[in-house]
Structure 1
Amino acid sequence: MIEYHKDIESLLENLKDDVISSKNSSLMTINKNMFMLYWKIGNLILMRQNEDCEDEFISTAAQYFRTQFPNNLGFSEKNLKNMLNFAVEYESQNLVQNIASKISWSCSVVLIDKIRYADKRMEYMNEVIKKGWTMERLVKEIDLHCGMAGNDEEDTHEEKKQDGEEQFFENKDIITSKVDNFSQNDDNDKKESINDSPFIKDIISSEEMDQTSKNEVKDYSLILRDEYLIDFMGYLNEGKREYFQEQFIKCTIEFFLGLNSGFALIGSRYHVEFSGGDYYIDLLFYNLKLKCYIAVELKIGKFRPEYMGILTFHLSILDESVKGKDDSSSIGIIICKDDEKLIVQYAFKDMEKPEDAEYRLNEDIPPQLQGMLPTVEEIGCEIRERLKFV
């Protein structure tokens, strides 16, 4: 029996690795196809740039794509310009297919925008792959490095040029030298091995990708997680909604915890059992100063009257099965994102007779709680501002 359980455990671990590896392979293929499409479009725009009409072409293309693929982030004017920059910086098709497409498009845009030298880009790209950095983390790391280094990188570049040793190359210099062999070999159907290029030796090797330790198979879905990829895969409604919901939750948590007024997060999608049923509260906080639970319901779309019923029911469950005898009555907050508007409502019990009172929506905070809770205006403005960057 013991041997049987050991075999099952090993089998399931191997199956888990197979699931992750299969998912990685699928995501890598899709991401590579997206990068190649963006690179092709970028080169078409580059041709128009040589004719001094790239702006007109970008505007016309964006309008056309808007009619063909409504709400698609990938074909906005801004991203079409990103494609142009990408094509300028990466002339080699093999470089795009085998190296650049191993990270998310958003990370790639950040590297092109912030890092001048190609070899330094490769170093950051390697870190993204190896450590699973998000775009936000990549930006922080670049800003931190630049802040610490100041102009050292530029000074070092100039010094080494004077010494006759060119250690740093602009991306175009690299592409027009060794990496040009990629394009020449494409014409002859003879592809040079990636590892043969001295300019990309720091990028994670294909062997490392294929022979990852069984005990630690890296999940590349975290590295490639990007709204551009969601768009490209066609999950325009469901995928975007799920992504936005996650960011909505994240921004709301950051806001309340950043108040430094006693809010402690108990959990998101907090599970409560009541009368044999399972119920989930979007966000549950406990306020250490008020000594009460605060339930936050997050909604996307038009505000509906039934949201009040959901919130008050959840508050009743909290009071019945979670609240301690020394805790005050729970407080509810509805935050509804309707297009550019953010509708915020509190739900309080009558503070004078909490035992007999019912919960009611109210924009005004009771006098005894004023100064201890953020106003609906503060909640709305702060969270709406945070969501601008989503």
Structure 2
Amino acid sequence: MDRLSTEYQELLISLKQRIRTSQIRAALAVNRELILLYWQIGREILLRQSQQGWGAKVIDRLSQDLREEFPELKGLSRTNLMYMRAFAEAYSEEQIVQQVVGQIPWGHNLMILDKVKDLAARRWYAQQVTTNGWSRNILAIQIESQLYQRQGQAVTNFEATLPPDRSDLVRATLKDPYVFDFLSLGTAAQERELESALVQHIERFLLELGAGFAFVGKQFPLEIGGQDFRLDLLFYHLKLRCYVVIELKVDEFKPEYAGKLNFYLSAVDDLLRHPYDEPTIGILLCRSKNGVVAEYALRDINKPMGVAEWTEALTKSLPDPLQSELPSTTELEAELGAIEWEEDVGG
């Protein structure tokens, strides 16, 4: 009887997992068909307007007629038809719809459409939603912080210290600057204050670091040669399969910082790294840096590391052209509010 009960429980668990997997696949397929339908409707409107000179008023009539025919469908309002037209105009190729933007919900697509103007950036954010499972609120935060522009921008020595295929992968995990807009430290903050504040806001900190970072500890102790040393922050990256040491500095980057971090990386590789782990990576987060000085400091370092800035306010660190593109708080609230109409846009 016990054996039968055990086998039954194993069968039940297996079937539950299969059903959940099937439900997820079905939901993704439904979403993909819905997004493709919206794109096709938008494309037809575009074609009629460009080839036959139809005006904007035809969208009002089309919305009314379609809603009368399909009263059970919630995404046929005039506003949503306008978005379908803009969606088809933004993505001219059906392949992009099928393979990229069709994988994410319509509400996410509208946010990307409203807030991101560059096609490559739009595709990148859509892929990140699929890869990382971002909610719409998280997507809004990432777009607002100009994540696309900051990815892979840190000064590193990865090309000299890592194999080519891994160098590109690791470089993509770093950004510059890192934006800690959830902090209020001021310019006189000490490194321990910064460290404690980041750990207190660990969820936001991990979100800013990016997918894959698992927090191991702060002031992580290492005994080397009979002396005690402490790492500011230690992480393990689940995708890169390696330890990541982060050293925090509240002043401008200095060349000696790279030497100390190199020492820590050697120690972690010897004392913590398992045979199946990749080489440990180091990140120096400084209040500011001189890019040329950082490049010289890393040139002959034999451990993989990068130097990036951290800031509490994005607009302080971006060049003027990007600053002018940032929406105001009022604009953000208005745009986010316009998207929160699930009943009207179909999810």
When normalised by structure 2's length, the TM-score is: 0.39
In terms of Rg, which structure is larger? Answer: 1
When normalised by structure 1's length, the TM-score is: 0.35
